[in-house]
A and B are shown apart, each in its own frame.
Chain A
Amino acid sequence: MTPTLTLNDFAALSPMLILLAFALILLLVESFAQEAAKRWSTAIALIGLVIAGYAAVVAPASDNPLLLPWLRFDSLARTLSVFFIVIGVATVLLSSAFFKRFDASHGEYYFLLLSAIIGLLFIGYSADFLTLFLGLETLSISLYVLCGYMKKWEHSHEAAIKYFLMGALAAAFLLYGIALIYGATGTTNFDALLPMYEGLKGTPQQTLFLAGVALVTLGLAFKAAIVPFHVWAPDVYEGAPTPVTAFMAVGTKAGAFAAFARVFLVALPNFDPIWNELIALLAFPTLIYANIVALRQVQLRRFFAYSGISHAGFLLIPLAAGNAHSLQALVFYLVVYALATLGSFAVLAFLDERSQGVMLNDLRGLFRRSPMLAAVFSLCLLTLAGIPPTAGFFAKFYVFKLAFEAGYYTLLVVGLLTTILSAYYYLRIVSVMFSEAPAETTAPQRLDSAAIVGTLAFAAIIVFSCLPAPLLTLLDLQ
């Protein structure tokens, strides 16, 4: 008897299906009613995301044998889906603020954004390498176009081409790695990998498997912008429009580390100590390089690229430690990082004047022009720096505790020393905001959508700084 998909299965798939439906609606509206698209596409995208978010929370798990080889419906998938959709909502709001200033047609923008989020959802639900790859590629291709979305900006063209070419190369490596793993084990399903690997130990197939794993790590490390696969990030972040940069900084980073979590914390936990050593080896240059180069940045989108690379270095530490709490620490850190970065980009949305984005000098005297914006940005930057008592300190402390437990003492000390450097460059921005303003500056204009993102991020950071434990129960991972 051939199994068929029942209503329950469609309900389980509903987040992705809803987003797909709304994405197609947006495309249709854009094709047939461009004026309506300009006015309504933000609202349609938001409604779609909110419904998909609700669906992600209440969706039942499915046990249909048609779906189970490809998708896993567990609590991690649910948490990640809600997280990605919240990032999507924030990006939609930031985009709406962006388009108030820079006129460009919107319908296909939101279609591409929703497609990217569908890709992220697939990563979250993946139970097989092919689903993972599908999700990553959907995310990437949408982002390639989104980076070059502003047709008149030349540095956007450069950013998009760079991202596309390097991303295609990295995807090729990822696929080759998957192929090697398939060659070694005969399957791409996550559940089968660990038992298969146990059987391979000592045979030549083990080398094949490890080579495949190395290439998969390379492909994912590219997406996560880990040194030395990070070279695309500063140029692409700098060239893309600000809300797309926000989405890349938060969404792609979260997606890449969700992929790492799915493959190396859920499917292959501690399969071989050599992999943990490799990750620790990657973390050293990432932390050192990113924190040193970030000291010199003046263009803020580029600055957040290096900030993201440095945080990717910290996020590698739970992966290297690989113990029972790694997943929790990883997701906790990601959430705090996402809140702080989205809050920062919300403030940047108010100050975005030209295609180069916000420069450091534009922030001069922000405290006088708008104390609220300066306060939100300061709190977000202090959270990113990991200075107590912000939630960022708890995230870093959790990660450092895991590193100590696993015995990576040098990595821990390097992490702490680079935190000093990061404190300096984040504080530099804070001090520019509090310094004297040049005479002829105006107060930033009113942008309600960005204000919502900023206020919610600010409030969430303060709440989680005072009460970090509820965030863990909210994440519902163990």
Chain B
Amino acid sequence: MQGLAWLFAIPFLTSVILFFLPNGRHLKSLAVLFSLLPLALLIGNFDHWIGATIEYPWFPAIGIEFYLTVDSLSLVFLFLTAVIIPISLLAVRGQQLIFSSTFYGLVLLLEGLLIGFFTARDLAVFTIFWEAMLLPLYFIIALWGGPQRQAAAIKFLVYMIAGSVLMIVGVLALYFTAETSSGVGTFNLNALASVAGSSPNATWICAVFLLAFAVKTPLFPFHAWLPDAYYQAPTAGTILLSAILSKAGIYGLLRVALPLFPDVMVAWSPLLLALAIIGVLYGGMAAWMQNDYKSLIAYSSFSHVNFVLAGLFVFSQTAQEGAILQAVNHGITITALFLVAGWLQERIGTTAIGGVSGLAKFVPHLCWLTLFFVLSSVAVPGTNSFIGELLILFGVFGVNPWMAAALALTVILSVIYMLRWMQKVYFEAPGLYQEAWVDLKGREMLVALPLVLLILWIGIYPAPFLERIRPATEKTVAVEVQRFPDSLSRGSRYRSSPVCPQTVLCQSPQHLRRNSVFYFRELPVEVLP
């Protein structure tokens, strides 16, 4: 309990300190040091985080309780946050940053809000952190972004608020559902899990939650805010947007939508899966068309996030495991890609593809590092994305082989647009040397090193990560298995699948495939602690 209180409070306290310090050159090292403190706490207390809780009546008049808990799902995303934020700070050019103390303060404030978000178990607190995390990002885009930053920042914030404002109705509806069914209203997610699914309005409550999560991730077609926001944000801002903010939407789906409304989600999964796959294809095609590599990576990020969502919308444990792992992988890889893109931009002064070419001759280290991250992004075996995408494809194949084929083809698409970029910028005939084209310094290599190591570790030896992630998927699938007998007795069109004690994946009987039943149940073989 103590550890969690420190983990939550430290980013806020350090952020306040940073706001009041004068702008200076040494502020960046101090900020990076402060941002590493949560990571140090997480690693130092490693085995004791699961179950850490803060429970405090925050606003009793409305019934809001400040209830934070760490479980395996939260822990995964907490680690991701704690790793990405220091790297995003390291990506900043400290000397050229105006109002640097405000910038570092805002990033640390974001870290605190994210820690609160990933551990919140009270739905009102969840909503508060869900919307609050947009504010530091709004200011980061508005103050330190590109030429059209004001318009992009407002569009970003208003779009997000528009998507999530109806969530408040959903939250209140759940509170009063709990009140009618058990006498006392509550926002507590654990208590709501048992009553939410049976509420008469479950469909539209789930719809408003889905809308909010779909806008933030973003799921196709709610992605209109993405190109401008990603493009106009500074490098650090884009890293935070793509690596962490999109994961907030995925986490929301895993924490709220799937456990509370399994029936509705299962009923909608064909539509959602279709949207996700269209999103992957759309993002890939759009990325192929881009003449600007920052936009290219932005659309690539969109495409890969929809791949993760596709893994979430099929209800198989393997696919969900893959989706959570791929969410982490995407966070790491997209951070790396935007990092090298930022370095490239500093050197050639533009984000356009085609103006400069043949840079491999002058900046070989940057070139090979970029290529390594590109290979990770296209899921070459040996890199992290391979494991994640493989698991997702495995799960999707069990549901519908044609969907899996479509998804697998998108991998080719990602290869096309990424290598097109590499080819045009690094590998064609070199032009005249410019002074700004200095190769990567040792300091920059050190910043990229943790990402390289993580990519290789997850790619070559993913077992420890998968083991940590598995408990998070147990609960979700177990909930669906419980629901299963209900749907049988209601005479729905779900047919029973035979219990297969041996394998994780059950073969669906012939008659099911003929009727195009879209889903069946998988039963976990063993329950891991």
Contact = CB atoms under 8 A, between A and B. Distances in A.
B161 A387 contact: yes
Interface of B: 57-62, 99, 102, 113, 124, 127-132, 134-135, 138-139, 142-143, 150, 153-154, 157-158, 161-162, 165-166, 168-169, 172-173, 175-176
A33 B153 CA distance: 55
Contact of B150 (A388, A405, A424, A431): A431
30 contacts: A371-B102, A387-B132, A387-B134, A388-B128, A388-B130, A389-B113, A389-B128, A389-B129, A389-B132, A394-B59, A398-B61, A398-B62, A400-B168, A401-B62, A404-B172, A404-B173, A404-B176, A413-B169, A417-B165, A420-B161, A420-B165, A424-B158, A428-B154, A431-B153, A434-B142, A434-B143, A434-B150, A468-B59, A469-B57, A469-B60
B172 A401 contact: yes
B154 A427 contact: yes
Interface in A395-415: 397-398, 400-401, 404-405, 409, 412-413
A356 to B, nearest CB: 25
Contacts of B138: 427
5 nearest A-B pairs in the assembled complex, by CB-CB distance: A388-B128, A389-B132, A404-B172, A388-B131, A431-B150
Nearest to A332: B61
A328 B166 CA distance: 24
Interface of A: 325, 328, 367, 371, 382, 387-389, 393-394, 397-398, 400-401, 404-405, 409, 412-413, 416-417, 419-420, 423-424, 427-428, 430-431, 434-435, 468-469, 472
B135 A387 contact: yes
A367 B166 CA distance: 32
Given A388-B129, A404-B172, 15 more contacts: A367-B143, A371-B102, A387-B131, A389-B128, A400-B172, A412-B169, A416-B169, A417-B165, A419-B161, A419-B165, A431-B153, A431-B154, A434-B142, A434-B143, A469-B58
A387 B154 CA distance: 14
A8 B95 CA distance: 68
Contacts of A328: 61
Contacts of A427: 138, 154, 157-158
B169 A404 contact: yes
A415 to B, nearest CB: 9
Contacts of A430: 142
A119 B102 CA distance: 44
Contacts of B60: 469
Nearest to B124: A397
Given A393-B128, A420-B161, A423-B158, A469 B59 contact: yes
Contacts of B62: 394, 397-398, 401
A468 B169 contact: no
Contacts of A435: 150
Contacts of A469: 57-61
A397 B157 contact: no
**Interface residues of A, dominant DSSP:** helix
A458 to B, nearest CB: 13
Contacts of B59: 394, 468-469
Interface-central residue, A388, A389, A401, by most chain B CB under 10 Å: A388
A398 B113 CA distance: 22
Contacts of A367: 99, 143
A145 B73 CA distance: 64
A321 to B, nearest CB: 13
A237 to B, nearest CB: 25
Contact of B135 (A382, A409, A417): A382
B349 to A, nearest CB: 21
Contacts of A397: 62, 124, 168
A397 B61 CA distance: 11
B205 to A, nearest CB: 12
Given A371-B99, A371-B102, A468-B59, A431 B169 contact: no
B127 A388 contact: yes
Contacts of B158: 420, 423-424, 427
Contacts of B134: 387
Nearest to A393: B128
A413 B99 CA distance: 40
Contacts of B162: 420
Contact of A416 (B130, B139, B142, B166): B166
A394 B124 CA distance: 10
Nearest to B130: A388
A417 B162 CA distance: 8
A420 B154 CA distance: 12
A404 B177 CA distance: 11
Contact of B166 (A371, A389, A413, A472): A413
Contacts of A472: 61
A416 B165 contact: yes
Given A405-B176, A416-B166, A431 B61 contact: no
A417 B150 CA distance: 23
A382 B173 CA distance: 26
Contacts of B168: 397, 400, 416
Contacts of B176: 404-405
Contacts of B99: 367, 371
A91 B328 CA distance: 53
Nearest to A428: B154
B166 A423 contact: no
A424 B138 CA distance: 13
A382 to B, nearest CB: 7
B102 to A, nearest CB: 7
Contacts of B135: 382, 387
Given A382-B135, A394-B62, A423 B161 contact: yes
Given A388-B131, A424-B158, A431 B142 contact: yes
A371 B124 CA distance: 32
B289 to A, nearest CB: 30
A397 B129 CA distance: 14
Nearest to A329: B61
A417 B128 CA distance: 17
A115 to B, nearest CB: 35
A452 B420 CA distance: 59
A404 B180 CA distance: 13
Contacts of B130: 388
A404 B143 CA distance: 38
A431 B158 CA distance: 12
A195 B113 CA distance: 52
A435 B139 CA distance: 11
B172 A388 contact: no
A388 B117 CA distance: 12
Contacts of A405: 176
Nearest to B157: A427
Contacts of A393: 128, 131
A428 B142 CA distance: 11
